[in-house]
Chains A and B, each alone.
Chain A
């Protein structure tokens, strides 16, 4: 059956659907680096981020999305990281943020 074009399409849901998302990669990442779960979302990492000040890169948001099983584009985003290490200096929870960027890239190269 040929679909009729009414001049619009049905918008796809924007919600993060935890029932649908596959959390296996996320669990692997958190298993290797449980300290990432101690993030309190303060945004210090993103505030000082060399790349984030000049691009749309938001380290805090990307790793939070990864933890929810939203992997698409995370690898490309993490590639913007310059590995300068400033984020790790400022993290009040002592998270190895630089390591998180590397880990996400290693785990999510296929997405």
Chain B
């Protein structure tokens, strides 16, 4: 049987391995963390249905286990070619093809210094908020209930100042989802979302946005927050332009949530240099074609699944798992 190594055990990698097994190949998942699941392990519920992430993850992991797919955790990849993968420890594994499903890196909000993340209490990221939801303890740092909450879209996305010109796509709908969750937890609180554009690209997203506006009374202000600073009573003062009225706007809030974007992994540059695949200007790996070969790389025998090529939703990553597996299976069979 042909051995195909899947680098990365997130949703895309797991689905790729499952499909490879269906296609009659012998998949091996290499996961750098101690367990499968990738970024989804840190997420609480998923847009637009509020489905628990753990449900999706448990189902996928269950299938991987039941199917008896070989998995190596705590296995960080140092380098790969279509026919071999070298681990950080120096061990080299032979294979017939490689599917790269190494995902993305969350933007480090500290880089946007003007928002004071890591300096001011009660400035949190969307990822922090998911963790708080999962732990069932959403509150200000002093344990009290927030009365006014602001979400800021596009932190580390569409921002040339931090070398992230691309749109991370899923943060807009995440902002809507999290705003609704906050409103559910704190019905008496005012929730404001500050955005540059609202990009509701998926099925049910626009409907969810409308529900957030009309039913949940969440205020959407078109304008990017320019800075956050502390107030004497331990709140956060934010400034933005309300561009639809053409006036500067300021207010103090109890919590500021930064919707952090998805950026390309630093390892992409190394992988591109070593194995001859190409990178997009955004730093994500570039597929052979955006139309007909979205899961193929520019090098023979190397395939892509998931967010290694661009920001994507969970559903899109799973779909790419099928496509990448089929493309890889077709390739190894022809050889």
Are A and B direct contacts in the complex by CB distance below 8 Å? yes
Contacts of A64 in B (CB 8 A): 242, 244-245
* A15 partner, pick from B198, B247, B252, beta carbons under 8 A: B247
Contacts of B244 in A (CB 8 A): 41, 60-61, 64
User: Please, how many residues of chain A have a CB less than 8 angstroms from a CB on the other chain?
Assistant: 22
Chain B residue at smallest Cβ distance from A23: B190
Dominant secondary structure at the A interface: mixed
Docked-complex contact A61 and B246, CB < 8 angstroms: yes
* Interface 1/0 per residue, B238-259 and A, CB below 8 Å: 0100101111111110000000
Task: Please tell me which stretch of A30-38, A47-55, A75-83, A100-108 contacts chain B, meaning at least 4 of its Cβ atoms lie within 8 angstroms of it.
Answer: A30-38
Chain B residue at smallest Cβ distance from A27: B217
Task: Please tell me which stretch of B37-45, B50-58, B169-177, B208-216 contacts chain A, meaning at least 4 of its Cβ atoms lie within 8 angstroms of it.
Answer: B208-216
Docked-complex contact B250 and A68, CB < 8 angstroms: no
Docked-complex contact A40 and B219, CB < 8 angstroms: no
Complex: A93 Cα to B214 Cα, angstroms? 11
| Interface assignment of A89: CB less than 8 Å from any CB of chain B | no
Chain A residue at smallest Cβ distance from B246: A61
Complex: A50 Cα to B146 Cα, angstroms? 44
Chain B residue at smallest Cβ distance from A18: B251
Docked-complex contact A40 and B245, CB < 8 angstroms: no
* B248 partner, pick from A14, A19, A35, A41, beta carbons under 8 A: A14
5 more contacts with CB within 8 A, not counting A17-B251, A64-B244, A70-B245, are A15-B247, A15-B250, A16-B248, A34-B214, A39-B213
- Listed in ascending order, the chain B residues whose CB lies under 8 Å from chain A are 198, 210, 213-215, 217-219, 222, 239, 242, 244-252
